A and B are shown apart, each in its own frame.
Chain A
Amino acid sequence: MATVLCPHCGTPNREGSHFCNRCGAALLAAPHATPPQQQPASPATPDRAASQPWLDPGFVGEDDVPLEEESADQALLGEQAPLPAPRLVSALQGLLDPIRVVTIPQEGGETEPSLPATALTAEKLRRVRSLMAEEPLVASSPLPVPAPSLWLRWIFGILAIGVAAPLLLGWPLPADEPTRWTGVEPGFDSIQALPSGARVQLLWAFDSATVGEMELVSSPVLRHLAARRARVAASSLLPAGPATAQRLLSRIDPERTLWASPDRASAVPSVRFLPGGAAVLPLLAAEPADLAVLLAAQAEDVQHWLEQVAPRNRVPVLAVTAAGADLPLRPYLESGQLVGLVSGFDGAYQYNELLGQPFAAADIPLLRRQIVGQSYGALTLLAIVLLGNFAAWLAGRPRER
């Protein structure tokens, strides 16, 4: 794929881009780069290595610790020299080990003659910017290799067909009956055990971006709280959280039974917006409560509450989440830090049954569409991954003559 280099920072961008993906500079007059297939794997091309020897992976600067040679023990054992650690692993290692950054020689050294500032060409400035924007080179990390062509348009196109075709053609559901997860029933019991007028802290951690799934799973829990005559104090860490909450709550609880008397008189239910993210959560630990209900699209919001609030006020916590957040929150349910976990369509279905209010017939087609799209989308991606691996395996096989 042809790319165009940013004149400001040197980042390669797709051909036809108007702006740089890294720095946003205009690309209209930028020079075109050679396709990645024609570029050598090493970043230190001959001319580049001559002018900038520190870009060569073999270069050792004054402060650098040289790599140890292969020991005699290894040679005797017939072991190969250790392969460079994968990118992820080496990056994580960099956090724990002192990073051996490839050093840049002092000005006036023999390898790179010093230049007055005025002699720096635009090309050199661009390279310096590019170097400053990159992560430091870790000595044990592999050489930066040009990213393989992923045919992203094809991947997105196939995924779009994989989701749209079952929706338009009415393909059947992969599974008939929703799964019954542990955690829903204890969650239901924790609300059922609340006395009338019990104080409940409500964390509203989703907004319009995740409203499709979260409204589905939050609605039965909020209806249950209203039926138990709970008194709710709601907060949100998202700017659009209060508006999303007010829209759903005015539909579920039009009589405002969930709110304490001053709030009940107001036109809209009051949901506080707390800017500052998880850093402000400890303030909520001072509020008295009998139960905390977390409506969170991401597992991290529940984790933050369990780390910042729950150890301080020791109030039982019920998490109501999207299906994607279920897996990382299971250990908290098993350790007893969560009294209940209601997640995704399955959780909503089971909670509605426990509440004695199964889904309305009008809701079923909408739900069905979402589950069909999600399931066939995941299947399509799995097929793409398998095909991609198969193609890579075929491409990597030595050709027989």
Chain B
Amino acid sequence: MNVDALLPAGWAAGAGLWVGFVFTLLIFSALLGDHLLARLAQYVLVGALLGYTVVVTWQSILASTWVAALHVEPWTPRWQWAPAAAAAILAVAGLGRILVQSGLRLPASRWLEALRLLGALPALGLAAVAAALALTGSIQGTLGPQFLHAARNGLIWGAPWAMLASNLVALLVTAAALVALVTDPAQHLTSQPAWVQRLLRGWIWLGQRALWLAAGALFARLFASRLSLWVAEVTYWTQAIQSTELGQQLERGWRLWMGR
């Protein structure tokens, strides 16, 4: 049955606009305090997103490629069943954990214990693959090329003095940040000669400031991205509501009040 045929044309778009607007206001209202409607809006948002993700994953990956392939040729190749088995074990073990955490007392059983241990295997595999990819990726895609680029262009004799100075400062500050991270003055410096202590304390001081600055830059980036999201949201709603009849009346009233 086509749902669109049951409703007047454009009804869904109009309803979606106002439902979205009300829910946006409800989520924003959490700034004023925790209340039931703000919670409701958050739960609906998260629930809808998770439901949408499940549907999209099923349609675009599981049903269209995996399940279809297994249905047509179940045993060629046989290894296709391995991910299915791992996913099933993980899902059942995860379900057991959720039930226990929710307060349900399951009867003690060796089977349940074995299932819990078995569920750790695919989880461990996932974590190990992710860690290995992250490590190799950061070396081959970021650290290696960036180091080579700096070594080839920035720290060679004959490079422009401004570039040379900039790269030397970058090297000094990077090393200072690393020293600040791995050195505990109370533990590592007390047995050193006084001049080494003084030098390293200065370097650590510099490294700590560099880390603070980096943390500040990260915060500023985060704030800038959230601000642009917020402004885009406000701009979208201003434009969307402006095009409705109610919005135009409000705009006329505003202009009248502002004398424009």
In the complex, what distance in Å separates the CA atom of A138 from the CA atom of B241?
Answer: 53
A113 located at the interface, meaning its Cβ lies under 8 Å from any Cβ of chain B in the complex: no
With both beta carbons as reference points, the residue of chain B lying nearest to A240 in the complex is identified as B52
In the complex, what distance in Å separates the CA atom of A70 from the CA atom of B211?
Answer: 26
Q: Is the interface of A mostly helix, strand, loop or mixed?
A: helix
Q: Which of A19, A156, A242 has a CB less than 8 Å from the CB of B31?
A: A156
Q: Which residues of B contact A163 (CB under 8 A)?
A: 227, 230-231, 234
Interface residues of A in 86-134 (CB under 8 A from B): 86, 88-89, 92-93, 96-97
Interface residues of B in 226-260 (CB under 8 A from A): 227-236, 238-239, 254
Q: Which residues of B contact A366 (CB under 8 A)?
A: 235, 239
When the two chains form their complex, are residues A88 and B235 in contact, meaning their CB atoms are under 8 A apart? Answer: no
Interface residues of B in 124-151 (CB under 8 A from A): 129-130, 133-134, 137-138, 140-142, 145-146, 148-149
Interface residues of A in 252-273 (CB under 8 A from B): 272-273
When the two chains form their complex, are residues B225 and A239 in contact, meaning their CB atoms are under 8 A apart? Answer: no
**In the complex with contacts A322-B225, A323-B224, A369-B235, A310-B141 CB distance below 8 A:** yes
A307 located at the interface, meaning its Cβ lies under 8 Å from any Cβ of chain B in the complex: yes
A16 located at the interface, meaning its Cβ lies under 8 Å from any Cβ of chain B in the complex: yes
Q: Which of B49, B184, B225 has a CB less than 8 Å from the CB of A93?
A: B184
Q: Which residues of A contact B138 (CB under 8 A)?
A: 307
When the two chains form their complex, are residues B145 and A89 in contact, meaning their CB atoms are under 8 A apart? Answer: no
With both beta carbons as reference points, the residue of chain B lying nearest to A214 in the complex is identified as B232
Interface residues of A in 158-181 (CB under 8 A from B): 163-164, 167-168
In the complex, what distance in Å separates the CA atom of A67 from the CA atom of B186?
Answer: 8
Interface residues of A in 235-286 (CB under 8 A from B): 239-240, 242, 272-275, 278-279, 282
When the two chains form their complex, are residues A212 and B182 in contact, meaning their CB atoms are under 8 A apart? Answer: no
**In the complex with contacts A16-B34, A272-B60, A311-B140, A279-B130 CB distance below 8 A:** yes
* Distance (whole angstroms) from the CB of A21 to the closest CB of chain B: 8
A377 located at the interface, meaning its Cβ lies under 8 Å from any Cβ of chain B in the complex: yes
Q: Which residues of A contact B231 (CB under 8 A)?
A: 163, 212, 369-370, 373-374, 377
In the complex, what distance in Å separates the CA atom of A323 from the CA atom of B34?
Answer: 33
* Distance (whole angstroms) from the CB of A49 to the closest CB of chain B: 23
Q: Which of A19, A67, A96, A278 has a CB less than 8 Å from the CB of B181?
A: A96
In the complex, what distance in Å separates the CA atom of A79 from the CA atom of B61?
Answer: 64
**In the complex with contacts A273-B57, A307-B140, A89-B235 CB distance below 8 A:** no
When the two chains form their complex, are residues A19 and B39 in contact, meaning their CB atoms are under 8 A apart? Answer: yes
**In the complex with contacts A19-B34, A97-B184, A71-B234 CB distance below 8 A:** no
Q: Which of B133, B149, B232 has a CB less than 8 Å from the CB of A279?
A: B133
When the two chains form their complex, are residues A275 and B61 in contact, meaning their CB atoms are under 8 A apart? Answer: yes
B33 located at the interface, meaning its Cβ lies under 8 Å from any Cβ of chain A in the complex: yes
When the two chains form their complex, are residues A18 and B198 in contact, meaning their CB atoms are under 8 A apart? Answer: no
* Distance (whole angstroms) from the CB of A252 to the closest CB of chain B: 19
Q: Which of B141, B190, B229, B232 has a CB less than 8 Å from the CB of A68?
A: B190
Interface residues on B, range: 35 or more
Q: Which residues of B contact A397 (CB under 8 A)?
A: none
With both beta carbons as reference points, the residue of chain A lying nearest to B233 in the complex is identified as A212
In the complex, what distance in Å separates the CA atom of A311 from the CA atom of B141?
Answer: 7
A190 located at the interface, meaning its Cβ lies under 8 Å from any Cβ of chain B in the complex: no
A153 located at the interface, meaning its Cβ lies under 8 Å from any Cβ of chain B in the complex: yes
Number of A-B residue pairs with CB-CB distance less than 8 Å in the complex they form: 172
When the two chains form their complex, are residues A86 and B212 in contact, meaning their CB atoms are under 8 A apart? Answer: yes
Task: Mark B197-225 against chain A: 1 for CB-CB distance below 8 A, else 0.
Answer: 11001000000100110010000010111
When the two chains form their complex, are residues B228 and A89 in contact, meaning their CB atoms are under 8 A apart? Answer: no
Q: Which of A16, A81, A92, A239 has its CB near the most chain B CB atoms (within 10 A)?
A: A239
When the two chains form their complex, are residues B186 and A370 in contact, meaning their CB atoms are under 8 A apart? Answer: no
A17 located at the interface, meaning its Cβ lies under 8 Å from any Cβ of chain B in the complex: yes
B14 located at the interface, meaning its Cβ lies under 8 Å from any Cβ of chain A in the complex: no
B80 located at the interface, meaning its Cβ lies under 8 Å from any Cβ of chain A in the complex: no
Interface residues of A in 294-310 (CB under 8 A from B): 297-298, 303-304, 306-308, 310
Q: Which residues of B contact A77 (CB under 8 A)?
A: 194, 197-198
**In the complex with contacts A86-B208, A311-B140, A324-B236 CB distance below 8 A:** no
In the complex, what distance in Å separates the CA atom of A377 from the CA atom of B230?
Answer: 10
Interface residues of A in 357-387 (CB under 8 A from B): 366, 369-370, 373-374, 377-378, 381
Q: Which residues of B contact A313 (CB under 8 A)?
A: none
A336 located at the interface, meaning its Cβ lies under 8 Å from any Cβ of chain B in the complex: yes
When the two chains form their complex, are residues B35 and A18 in contact, meaning their CB atoms are under 8 A apart? Answer: yes
When the two chains form their complex, are residues B33 and A16 in contact, meaning their CB atoms are under 8 A apart? Answer: yes
* Distance (whole angstroms) from the CB of A238 to the closest CB of chain B: 9
Residue contacts A-B, CB under 8 angstroms, 28 given: A14-B33, A18-B35, A19-B34, A67-B186, A73-B193, A74-B197, A76-B194, A77-B197, A79-B201, A82-B189, A85-B208, A86-B212, A167-B238, A212-B232, A212-B233, A239-B56, A272-B60, A275-B53, A275-B61, A278-B134, A282-B133, A297-B225, A307-B137, A322-B225, A334-B149, A370-B228, A370-B232, A374-B224
- A-B contact sample (18 more), CB < 8 A, given A307-B142, A373-B234: A19-B39, A73-B197, A86-B212, A92-B181, A140-B184, A153-B32, A239-B53, A239-B56, A239-B57, A240-B49, A242-B56, A279-B129, A307-B140, A322-B225, A328-B221, A370-B228, A370-B231, A374-B227
- B-to-A contact residues, CB < 8 Å: 31-36, 39, 49, 52-53, 56-57, 60-61, 129-130, 133-134, 137-138, 140-142, 145-146, 148-149, 180-182, 184-187, 189-191, 193-194, 197-198, 201, 208, 211-212, 215, 221, 223-225, 227-236, 238-239, 254
